[in-house]
């Protein structure tokens, strides 16, 4: 039996009035993942800012970028 199946079996036995606690608990895990994702993206962005050159920051129109990548818009 998988962990998910075990959890679902346990949840089936929990009275309805206690499920709000389970929801809050699970949302905490979900938020942890979102916070970790945000921190990872911020670290990538800061690394880019610290290690990029002026040429890296040059903006080009999306049409030109697509053409360079061989993508038709």
Question: Is residue 66 a contact partner of residue 72, using CB atoms and an 8 Å limit?
Answer: yes
> Domain coordinates of the chain in residue numbers?
3-69
Q: Answer whether 66's CB lies under 8 Å from 73's CB.
A: yes
Instruction: Give the C-alpha distances (Å, rounded to integers) separating 12 from 1, 23, 24, 73.
Output: 15, 14, 17, 50
The answer, yes or no, to whether residue 8 has pLDDT greater than 90, is: yes
pLDDT digits 0-9 by tens, 9-56: 999 999 999 998 888 888 887 777 788 888 888 998 898 888 878 777
Neighbours of 45 (CB within 10 A): 10
| Confidence (pTM) | 0.41
């Amino acid at each position: 039996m998988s962990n998910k199946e075990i959890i679902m079996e346990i949840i089936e036995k929990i009275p309805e009035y206690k499920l709000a606690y389970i929801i809050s608990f699970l949302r905490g895990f979900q938020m942890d993942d979102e916070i970790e994702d945000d921190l990872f993206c911020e670290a990538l962005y800061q690394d880019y800012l610290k290690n990029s050159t002026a040429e890296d920051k040059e903006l080009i129109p999306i049409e030109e970028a697509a053409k360079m990548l061989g993508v038709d818009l």
